[in-house]
Structure 1
Amino acid sequence: MEKPRRCYDVVVIGAGPSGAVASSILSEKGYRVLVLEKQHFPRFSIGESLLPQCMEILESAGMLQAVVEAGFQYKNGAAFATNNQYSSFDFREKFSNGWGTTYQVQRAQFDKVLADCAAEKGVEIRYGHDVVAYKDRGNQVQLDVISEDNTYQVEAKFILDASGFGRVLPKLLGLEKESTLSPRVSLFTHIEDGINHSEYDRDKILISVCPENNQIWYWLIPFSDGRASVGLILPREIYEQNQISNHDLLRQYISKTTTMNAFLEKAKFDIDVRKMDGYSCDVTHLYGDKFALLGNAGEFLDPVFSSGVTIALKSADLATHVLDKQLKGLAVDWETEYAQPLKQGVNTFRAFVDGWYDGTLQDVIFAEDKSTQIKKMISSVLAGYAWDKKNPYVKDPNRLKVLAELCRT
């Protein structure tokens, strides 16, 4: 039987982190919120290494206790390795105020924890429901939805697109545009890591640089159950030259490293290796008259500094504050109150991503003699505090180039 057409204050597309947080905040403010999620939870997702900045937003959304009690792997920083060089950043030793620790999470479990929290706060979540059309009806928006049982319409005063890489509204409304970042391919999987190496710090994500090409790098993200996420990032043109399976290619590149290969000596690669091609994406604008884009539905940069979930949660926090005012009949400016503040942090991360691939940031990270104060400033950005304008490297990310020159000399 077809579901009756119903009207909500807000419909959120996607039940991932940004959708769960946004819907939860709005529900607690008294709005009638519906979340439409194409998949069924729990489901596999990549992006397992959180940043401390996330904790503040989860706490304000009333979700922190559930995350803490879920038993995820504790995380206090990031480590970097290349050739025989090793450098680490402890996020507790940072310039910005706020959380200095967080977690490494299996996203299937983490996303379900957040979605369940939203449901407990009164949010209606429909799993297996795919939004296929957006129609502006004047005072409201009508969405056409396909479920496993039927097709129906739902109406809302406002739509938040939290569909991540599904990018529902950018595709339906023609908002997509190419990223300025070069196209890259990601290969990744979960493994039984078998790590008992005395030098391995399980409390940090490990980023390793390929000794043959600093455009190629790897991640190792440990979980609390003896498993880990491993992945490889390489330029698309290099990937297209390979003649072997993705599994063999990942193993081959890991074998080129000194540190990571030693750590994974006893690892069991027991799950298929997945591939994501050309993951960097952008949009022409982040909002419209009756919609706003959250997280990866708007822009995704690169996984190197684990900024994805942080940007997603920050976008949810910013958007719900603006939307609350709008639904109350107050005047709002989505450009100055949402898009510009969000982009400030995104642009900070972008400068660090650009610096990673042009070698600038790698020179800084692997410099032998680091100023304690400057290291704290860099650590703050790596910890997700990309919106702290008191940090000189947030206020002017181009300072990285000057710092790199100093490190080289």
Structure 2
Amino acid sequence: MSAAEIPKSTNILVIGGGPAGSYAAAALAREGFEVTLLEREHFPRYHIGESMLPSCRPFMRFIGAEQKVIDYGFCVKVGAALKFNQTKREGYSDFINPDPNKAAWNVVRMIILLVKHRLMPLDKVRAEFDEILLRNASENDVRVCEGVSVNTINFSTKNDKQPVSAEWKSDTGATGEIKFKWLVDASGRNGIMSTKYLKNRKFNTALRSVAFWGYWTGAGMYAPGTSRENATWLEALTDESGWSWFIPLHGGRVSVGIVLKEESSRAKKASLSGPDINAQHYHNQLKLVPGVMKLLAGATFLGEVKSAGDYSYSATGYAGPNYRIAGDAGAFVSITFMSVDGVLKHEQIDPFFSSGVHLAFSSGLSAASSIAASIRGQCSEAEAIKFHTDKTGTSYTRQDGPKLVLSAYRQITSQSVPVLSDIEEDNFDRAFEFIRPIIQGAADTDPTVTEEMLQATMDFCEHALGLTDPEMHEAVASRIDPQLMAEDGPILGPKDVAAIAGGDEETEAVLRRINSRKAVESLVDWQPNFRGESFNGLSIFLERGNLGLRRTPVVA
């Protein structure tokens, strides 16, 4: 749709056509609301690929996009193998057992690179993942306008915290203003509301890493001929300085990357010289991941190494009077990198836990639900604002899993120490089972994952940084009730553990470790209430035609 067709006013304005914006727009339009979406780029746009979570499927099902993604033929992701320790067998997170429909996908969103290397014909480019979501929004009666940037938001003269219109400019030079009653800011990393007006973005520099990656053809695959065939492979470097990813993509391509702590990478590159230090550095690090090298035997490198440095951010709030912030505009873990044409870009790269699209969908749905609830009078706008901020903040904390990432890095850089594996186990399967709600995105989408389980999971992530040994377990067992240490014993919360330990640090460490693995439960389908999770007495009611928030029944 051209700039000339941008209306003077709309009921709901969505800024940004990425996964969060496209999702929120489609969800609202399917409820019969008038929605206009302004996207500064013309799709397909340059964007790095991503290994998705199974949780993305029910999100897409609700807006009618799941079958479109299935039909496109992206590379199916049946699970992920993780080799954190070169002396142990790799662990495995199975996405399809017992339900094959829980498979996810590795989606390619690197449009320019694919066309450049003639790996995808031009007539297929427009079917890529972000494109599917944006076109799905359009097919659901969202007025989609591409090539249109929003640089200024105007606020009500009666309430200077309530946005009422946006000034836009198209890439053809046309300008204008569009009035609205409701705003969804899904403007990505730029986050116009957070950065320009609210100024409430906070950066987290605890995990400063750098990534180097490239694309290959003709590589092997993990576990051919088994139910795990062609799964994603993640592996720690033998020198304990970082880790690597091997992600199969459709069309016979794979993405292979190396992630190092920033200071370690800098030290390794110091001795290199020549016209392409990054390429030398990348191939040197690949020699430190024997599992990846085995998979790349006979493969052809496509000839370009991309580099990146990461950062993460969040906001102190994600909503206000008649506006919601969703996706990258509010909180994200992202990567800075050089694009193919040499222009500096900022995009997400999250091969470790692949939470980016999940967070975009979750916050997009929360934004749509809370707006619908306010319009329909299901709650006050103040209640809807608080719900969206709490829901988005909670999802970000769970899915980003900073404590889990820290414990994973601890294991990678201290491979002889049992950080994630149980004592004397030969792999990390038990740990991966335990943290599966985060790895698979079930924390937000699975009703069987209880609040107690989620709290226990986060406790595990935190206390995996602490260490215990067999002697410590034996000593603690001699001075507390043995049932508390039994596998079928009660699950203890943090307060209970602290009370039992009574200040005994060894007892507390052992009990926390034991309880960290007791919250495993099989994962089943999504339910219509978006896990039924309640914030301040409200939960999302996920039913087409009645999307919104409902009061949580009070249990006597």
Sort the TM-score into its range (normalised by shorter chain). 0.7 to 0.9
Which residue of structure 2 aligns with residue 67 of structure 1?
69
Provide the secondary structure at the position in 2 that maps to 1:44.
coil
Residue 366 (structure 2) pairs with residue 340 (structure 1): no
Which residue of structure 2 aligns with residue 237 of structure 1?
263
Deviations 1:187-242 (A, max 9, x none): 3333325326766955422111122135x222111012101222222223334442
Q: 1:98 to 1:228 in 2, by over 3 A?
A: closer
Which residue of structure 2 aligns with residue 22 of structure 1?
24
Count of aligned residue pairs for this structure pair: 406
Provide the secondary structure at the position in 1 that maps to 2:137.
helix
Which residue of structure 2 aligns with residue 381 of structure 1?
438
1:9-408 correspondence to structure 2 within 5 Å: 9-81=11-83, 82-85=85-88, 86-93=90-97, 100-107=102-109, 109-138=128-157, 140-149=163-172, 150-173=174-197, 174-179=199-204, 181-195=206-220, 202-214=229-241, 216-241=242-267, 242=269, 243=272, 245-270=277-302, 272-301=304-333, 303=350, 304-329=352-377, 330-332=379-381, 333-334=383-384, 336-348=386-398, 349-359=401-411, 363=418, 365=420, 368=425, 375-387=432-444, 389-390=449-450, 392-396=452-456, 397-402=458-463
Deviations 1:43-88 (A, max 9, x none): 2322511101111111111111101101011112111124243221
* Contact map agreement 1:16 1:115 (CA 8 A) in 2: yes
Provide the secondary structure at the position in 2 that maps to 1:74.
strand
- C-alpha displacement at 1:271, in angstroms? 5.4
Provide the secondary structure at the position in 2 that maps to 1:266.
coil
Provide the secondary structure at the position in 2 that maps to 1:224.
coil
Provide the secondary structure at the position in 1 that maps to 2:29.
helix
Provide the secondary structure at the position in 1 that maps to 2:320.
coil
Which residue of structure 1 aligns with residue 114 of structure 2?
none
Task: Write the distance in 2 (CA, Å) between the matches of 1:180 and 1:286.
Answer: 21
Q: 1:36 to 1:75 in 2, by over 3 A?
A: same
Task: Write the distance in 1 (CA, Å) between the matches of 2:302 and 2:152.
Answer: 39
* Contact map agreement 1:207 1:219 (CA 8 A) in 2: yes
* Contact map agreement 2:38 2:145 (CA 8 A) in 1: yes
TM-score, normalised relative to structure 2: 0.66
What residue identity is the alignment partner of 2:435?
I
Task: Write the distance in 2 (CA, Å) between the matches of 1:306 and 1:127.
Answer: 27
Pick which of 104-113 and 183-192 moved more.
Answer: 183-192
TM-score, normalised relative to structure 1: 0.88
* Contact map agreement 2:53 2:358 (CA 8 A) in 1: yes
Task: Write the distance in 2 (CA, Å) between the matches of 1:77 and 1:277.
Answer: 27
Which residue of structure 1 aligns with residue 545 of structure 2?
none
* Contact map agreement 1:159 1:290 (CA 8 A) in 2: yes
* Contact map agreement 1:93 1:379 (CA 8 A) in 2: no
What residue identity is the alignment partner of 1:385?
A
Task: Write the distance in 2 (CA, Å) between the matches of 1:391 and 1:264.
Answer: 42
Q: 1:352 to 1:47 in 2, by over 3 A?
A: farther
- C-alpha displacement at 1:184, in angstroms? 2.3
* Contact map agreement 1:8 1:33 (CA 8 A) in 2: yes
- C-alpha displacement at 1:119, in angstroms? 0.9
* Contact map agreement 2:81 2:231 (CA 8 A) in 1: yes
- C-alpha displacement at 1:101, in angstroms? 1.6
Pick which of 182-191 and 308-317 moved more.
Answer: 182-191
* Contact map agreement 2:324 2:388 (CA 8 A) in 1: no
What residue identity is the alignment partner of 2:147?
G
Provide the secondary structure at the position in 2 that maps to 1:301.
strand
Provide the secondary structure at the position in 2 that maps to 1:10.
strand
What residue identity is the alignment partner of 2:364?
A
**Can you give the 5+ residue segments of structure 1 that lack an aligned partner in the other structure?**
none
Task: Write the distance in 1 (CA, Å) between the matches of 2:176 and 2:218.
Answer: 46
Q: 1:153 to 1:274 in 2, by over 3 A?
A: farther
* Contact map agreement 2:332 2:356 (CA 8 A) in 1: yes
- C-alpha displacement at 1:170, in angstroms? 2.5
Q: 1:293 to 1:67 in 2, by over 3 A?
A: same
Q: 1:279 to 1:399 in 2, by over 3 A?
A: closer
What residue identity is the alignment partner of 1:135?
N
* Contact map agreement 2:92 2:429 (CA 8 A) in 1: no
Task: Write the distance in 1 (CA, Å) between the matches of 2:177 and 2:59.
Answer: 32
Identity across aligned pairs (percent)? 24
* Contact map agreement 1:134 1:142 (CA 8 A) in 2: yes
Provide the secondary structure at the position in 1 that maps to 2:36.
strand
What residue identity is the alignment partner of 1:220?
F
Pick which of 248-257 and 60-69 moved more.
Answer: 248-257
Task: Write the distance in 1 (CA, Å) between the matches of 2:222 and 2:66.
Answer: 32
* Contact map agreement 1:183 1:280 (CA 8 A) in 2: no
What residue identity is the alignment partner of 2:255?
S
* Contact map agreement 1:195 1:263 (CA 8 A) in 2: yes
**Can you give the 5+ residue segments of structure 2 that lack an aligned partner in the other structure?**
112-127, 335-349, 471-556
Larger CA Rg, structure 1 vs 2 = 2
Q: 1:193 to 1:35 in 2, by over 3 A?
A: farther
* Contact map agreement 1:47 1:306 (CA 8 A) in 2: no
Pick which of 248-257 and 165-174 moved more.
Answer: 165-174
* Contact map agreement 1:87 1:366 (CA 8 A) in 2: no
* Contact map agreement 1:218 1:232 (CA 8 A) in 2: yes
Deviations 1:352-400 (A, max 9, x none): 2232223399846555357987653322321111235527551231134
Q: 1:277 to 1:141 in 2, by over 3 A?
A: farther
Which residue of structure 1 aligns with residue 118 of structure 2?
none
Task: Write the distance in 2 (CA, Å) between the matches of 1:134 and 1:147.
Answer: 16
* Contact map agreement 1:106 1:223 (CA 8 A) in 2: yes
What residue identity is the alignment partner of 2:41?
Q
